[in-house]
């Protein structure tokens, strides 16, 4: 990770190396915290945050679900992200990580009397799954870890506690020589990647699972909108692993992953074994949007 100059913490800009918390910070022990992943792109008109309002709104919704009383309004958090990026004077693309967490003050499982803290960090970051992966595709392994049943976790909250299974799935896949994992839900249908949404292409139709057991994804929604605007049919359907094996194309989407082709699942070559035509169309269109090259979607960007 490339360190930046400062981090925003509860209304103040703090030097990067001084942005510390106590060892008895409640969230460190019991896992109740929520966060966001947001990107800012260096466009021809300067640095611009992609879907700032939507990401900030989802952060506050996640906090509400997990009973975290955030002290800041949506506008205050949006302004804080803009302030942070201006203060750090970034020269390239940036990843933004807002975090709401329970701080130091009490111990024990009960959390409502713990202080609720908010921090926002940002740093320059390139392609999450590698520049080569964006062009040639990545190898994916269906994990032995499954998404918890919706009765066992709040899937619509981007909560830190939800990501242990994602972390273990990612470790398992990479330890086996793959680039990323793919998780099934409790009924055996494909849910999502550890931090990405999953798409396949069949006969020119783009198909992605419903968000029954996965996070409501801002990038997934963006790609669906782009596909429809390009005249590509999109369907929300459950996908079995065997259907994924025989897809014409497959790809991941996400703030970090952007639009990343999948060339292989469980040692089954997908399509031609590299980025397919539909995936490339969507990937090119997506990058035109986030880099401000398509005026139709200019409202998605907040220039700082």
For residue 2, the model assigns a pLDDT of: 83
Which helix (H) or strand (E) segment is 284 a member of? helix 277-290
Which helix (H) or strand (E) segment is 52 a member of? helix 52-65
**131-290 matches 6-124 in CATH topology:** no
Q: Please give the CATH number for the structural domain made up of 131-290.
A: 3.20.10.10
For residue 191, the model assigns a pLDDT of: 96
For residue 126, the model assigns a pLDDT of: 81
Cα separation, 85 vs 119, whole angstroms: 14
Write down the pTM of the prediction: 0.95
Residues designated catalytic: 158
Tokens 């918890």, located at residue: 148
Which helix (H) or strand (E) segment is 123 a member of? strand 116-124
CA angle 258, 264, 266 (to 5 degrees): 120
For residue 150, the model assigns a pLDDT of: 81
Buried (b) or exposed (e) across 198-232, using 16+ Cβ within 10 A? Answer: bbbbbeeebbbbebebbbebbbbebbbebbeeeeb
In the chain, the N- to C-terminal Cα span, in Å, equals 22
Cα separation, 177 vs 163, whole angstroms: 21
Is the separation of the CB atoms in 127 and 261 below 8 Å?
A: no
CATH-assigned architecture of domain 6-124:
2-Layer Sandwich (3.30)
Domain boundaries, the chain: 6-124, 131-290
For β-strands 138-146 and 180-184, DSSP reports them as parallel
Cα separation, 236 vs 190, whole angstroms: 12
How confident is the chain (304 residues) per 10-residue block, as mean pLDDT?
93 98 98 97 98 98 98 98 97 97 96 97 86 92 91 87 96 98 96 97 97 91 98 98 98 96 98 96 98 97 97
């Amino acid at each position: 990770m490339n360190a930046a100059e400062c981090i925003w913490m509860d209304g103040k800009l703090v030097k990067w190396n001084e942005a510390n918390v106590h060892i008895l910070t409640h969230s460190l022990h019991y896992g109740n915290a929520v966060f966001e992943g947001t990107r800012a792109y260096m466009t021809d008109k300067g640095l611009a945050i992609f879907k700032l309002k939507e990401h900030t709104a989802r952060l506050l919704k996640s906090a509400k679900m997990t009973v975290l009383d955030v002290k800041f309004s949506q506008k205050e958090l949006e302004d804080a992200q803009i302030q942070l990026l201006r203060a750090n004077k970034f020269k390239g693309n940036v990843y933004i990580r807002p975090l709401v967490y329970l701080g130091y003050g009490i111990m024990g499982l009960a959390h409502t009397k713990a202080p609720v803290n908010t921090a926002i960090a940002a740093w320059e970051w390139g392609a999450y799954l590698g520049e080569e992966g964006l062009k040639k595709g990545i190898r994916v392994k269906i994990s032995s870890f499954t998404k918890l049943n919706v009765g066992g976790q709040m899937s619509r909250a981007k909560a830190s506690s939800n990501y242990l299974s994602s972390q273990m799935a990612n470790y398992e896949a990479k330890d086996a020589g793959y680039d990323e994992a793919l998780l099934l839900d409790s009924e055996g249908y494909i849910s999502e990647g550890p931090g990405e949404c999953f798409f396949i292409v069949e006969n020119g139709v783009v198909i992605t699972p419903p968000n029954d057991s996965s996070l409501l994804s801002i990038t997934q929604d963006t790609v669906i909108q782009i596909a429809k605007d390009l005249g590509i049919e999109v369907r929300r359907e459950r996908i079995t692993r065997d259907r994924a094996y025989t897809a014409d194309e497959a790809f991941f989407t996400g703030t970090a992953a952007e639009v990343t082709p999948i060339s292989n699942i469980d040692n089954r070559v997908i399509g031609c074994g590299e980025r397919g035509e539909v995936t490339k169309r969507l990937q090119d269109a997506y990058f035109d949007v986030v880099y401000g090259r398509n005026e139709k979607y200019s409202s998605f960007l907040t220039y700082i």
